Chains A and B, each alone.
Chain A
Amino acid sequence: MSSQESVAAVPLAVRANVERERRRAATRRRQLFYLALLGLALLAPLAIYPVFLMKLLCFALFACAFNLLLGYAGLLSFGHAAFFACGGYITGHMLSTYSGLSTELGILAGTLASTLLGLIFGLLAIRRQGIYFAMITLALAQMVFFVFVQAPFTGGENGLQGVPRGHLFGLIDMQNNLALYYVVLAVFVFGFAVIQRTIHSPYGQVLKAIRENEPRAVSLGYNVDAHKLLAFVISSALAGLAGATKTVVFQLASLTDAHWHMSGEVILMTLLGGVGTLLGPLVGATVVVTLQSSLSNGPLGEWVHVILGVIFVLCVLLFRSGIVGWLERLVKRNFK
């Protein structure tokens, strides 16, 4: 009672000031945190194999893109591998066919292709909800998989091999792992920024409103389908960007990328890191990719799938908010 009174006693303007001050401090802290993270990323290749780091970034971007859809629009797509692979194959095809094509144009082509694919998927699937949405995206992705098996330019089971990495802007040779790493990092930061902007924009707020209570959003006059569709297209474009970049890194695109297991894997990464948190997918992808590559070199190599499965089950049963969600709660409980 007394505290309420004392708050009320403080003039309104001062309270607003305090509030603003607090928010500014929070923003500054967040900015500092991201800067530190970026600094870490810039120095990382000195200590860690750059190709591994690039793989990590590609999958992290893929998971972030997926999270935009699941975490902020509440749509579980079980066909995101289609966009990842589409970006990869188109980029690979462009770079191999048109020798001398600069790297960024190749990546752009792949991204555009998966954006278009995302639009088609979205138009077909967006009216369905929950499990039906998951199933229809899965079915569409299986059809895309079939196209990639059959189309002559993908090389079928052999995959698309020996894709040239090209030159960035036609100038810088990307054959150098370190140079490529910074390009991939830039791509990731770009993709992450797009997602961050989307979520914090008014559009992102509407998206969250739809996720929480769709009928209410409808009654407030929002065009729910259009909002969802836009989220789907942005998500598929970024997933395509991730796939395209991965093809440049590994110089090959293969059916593994298009298989429905890949769709499952990206769900796992997001779930593990924390659905609906900005950093969750990054953390989840880091954990999963690191697990996969460190396990595959060791005696536990053949247990990779089992371990991933156990993580899946534990996530669903015990900590549904994921690592980042759990950490956030921990911080809130102890420092506020």
Chain B
Amino acid sequence: MNFVRNSASAILASSLIAATAQAQISNNEIRIGYLADMSGTYRDLSGPGGLEALKMAVEDFGGTVDGRKIVLFNADDLNKPDVGANTVRQWIDERNVDMVTGLVASSVVLAASKVVEQGGKLALISGAAASSLTNEHCSPNHIHWTYDTFALANGTANAVLKDGGKSWYILTADYAFGHSMETDIKKVVQAEGGSVVGAVRHPFPSSDFSSYILQAQGSGADVIALANAGADTVNSLKTASEFGVTQSGQRLAGMVVFLNDIHAMGLDVTQGLMLTTGWYWDMNEETRAWAERYQKRVGSKPTMVHAGIYSATTHYLNAVKQTGSDDTATVRAQMAKTPVNDMFAKDGRIREDGRMVHDMYLVKVKTPAESKGEWDLYQMVRTIPGNEAFRPLAESQCKLVAKN
């Protein structure tokens, strides 16, 4: 029976830890768990591709750190907080997993990160968006890597506001991520002199958006902001075009739109859309080379989440190598000490609230005429420097940030 062996080894493992203290590799292995939506709404932006990106990072280390084997576990969280939290609990209790990555739906991440914190392990969050993860829910045991709702609202909403969209209506996915997004949009819009005239929350995930779109239409707002993601965003956009939203002079702003969404909907529908991203495959030689490698294995270009998983894992493994330990506090400190310099970020740094600060990019979706290939989808508009992109520490409610 599976459980028998696992718990026996867990008991053995815990006695080993007690004997050898820290500054060592527990179990003589570096164990990493990959938790993500592998089959649902968020499958394409993370899912199996993220696992592949993780494997690439591990292979770049030759599968070992100083002779210690790197072992991977993976599971589908089904976007359910209970499933995610229970899986992580079992990983930590039974398999003594050192680090968990992937981590997509914010509700799942909130639940899982509580378990990670209790177990004294580390979570490297790439897929989730909620900026509350480094605000009221911050913890020394997780790092938010790729992007967050604050950065996206900041980048995209600002651009749309400058373009003349003054009054806003928000369509929100009714869970942690949507709520975070809604709050962050409101802040940006109000700061720039715009107004939010209304918001409606839809269950996550939804298939029928007609009544929400109708309400948004009835509000008469200049801009309908979509504070949802994945298939929900795609379906909202489709319904909006069915009900002739753009014909009536309103514009749509997708706040969390990934490369795969644009690819799926096609440039005919999405051209001209402004969006903010943490990474794009076609930025420089390095990104193109990595994306090429990824595409050979998966069949599509990577999203920023995939790249984030690779970057975070590489940075983590480097820290393990440098310290010779997989003890959470030691590795976390080492990761914060070293700037992140790889194909994902230049001079990225990890703040005390767990935010990895790096440059974000405002892009515009190309027209079919401009696009030179299947995946040639974005045109760079502006680089948003890291210290402008993310929530300033002065506004933070995080308990880890020293207040003056």
Task: Indicate yes or no for A touching B, C-beta below 8 A.
Answer: yes
List residues of A whose CB falls within 8 A of some B CB.
Answer: 47-52, 149, 156-159, 161-162, 175, 177, 250-252, 254, 256-257, 294, 296-297, 301-302
Q: Give chain A residues whose Cβ lies under 8 Å from the Cβ of B89.
A: 51, 250
Of the candidate stretches B75-83, B152-160, B293-301, the one touching chain A is B75-83
Whole-angstrom distance from the CB of A93 to the nearest CB of chain B?
16
Q: How big is chain B's contact interface, by range?
A: 20 to 34
Q: Which residues of A have CB within 8 Å of B10?
A: 49
Asked if residues B7 and A301 are in contact (CB atoms below 8 Å), the reply is: no
Are A250 and B82 in contact, CB atoms less than 8 angstroms apart? yes
Which chain A positions have C-beta within 8 A of B111? Answer: 158-159, 161-162, 252, 254
The answer to whether A157 and B93 have CB atoms under 8 Å apart is no
Which residues of A sit under 8 angstroms from B85, Cβ to Cβ? 161, 250-252
Given known contacts A49-B3, A158-B176, A302-B39, is B82 in contact with A256 (CB within 8 Å)? yes
The 7 closest A-B CB pairs, nearest first, are: A157-B175, A162-B114, A254-B82, A158-B107, A159-B81, A161-B111, A49-B7
**Which residues in B have some Cβ–Cβ distance to A below 8 Å?**
1-4, 6-8, 10, 39, 75-76, 80-83, 85-86, 89-90, 93-94, 106-107, 110-111, 114-115, 118, 174-176, 203-204
A157, B90: Cβ atoms under 8 Å?
Answer: no
A-B contact count (CB 8 A): 78
- A294 and B81 contact, Cβ closer than 8 Å, known pairs A49-B94, A250-B86: no
How far, in whole Å, are A286 and B89 apart by their CA atoms in the complex?
20
Chain A residues with Cβ below 8 Å from B4 are 47-48
The DSSP consensus for interface residues of chain B is helix
A256 contacts which chain B residues (CB < 8 A)?
80, 82-83
CB distance from B294 to the nearest CB of A (A): 25
Report the separation of the CA atoms of residues A149 and B85 in the bound assembly, to the nearest whole angstrom. Answer: 19
A254 to B80, Cβ gap below 8 A? yes
Residues of B within 8 A of A301 (CB): 76
B8 contacts across to A, CB distance below 8 A = 47
Q: Which residue of the partner chain, among B3, B39, B80, B110, contacts A161 with CB atoms under 8 Å?
A: B110
Measured in the bound complex, the distance between the Cα atoms of B1 and A159 in whole Å is 32
Of listed B3, B80, B94, B203, residue having the most chain A CB within 10 A: B3
Q: Which of these, B39, B75, B76, B81, contacts A158 with CB under 8 Å?
A: B81
Residues of B contacting A159 in the complex (Cβ-Cβ under 8 angstroms): 81-82, 107, 111
Closest chain A CB from B118 CB (angstroms): 8
A297 to B118: give the CA distance in the assembly, Å. 23
Task: Determine whether the beta carbon of B93 is less than 8 Å from that of A177.
Answer: yes
Taking the closest CB of chain B, its distance from the CB of A172, in whole angstroms, is 18
Asked whether, in the complex, the Cβ of A294 is within 8 Å of the Cβ of B2, the reply is: yes
**B residues near A156, Cβ cutoff 8 Å:** 174-175
The reply to whether B90 and A49 contact each other, CB–CB distance below 8 Å, is yes
Please state if B6 and A49 are interface contacts (CB–CB under 8 Å).
yes
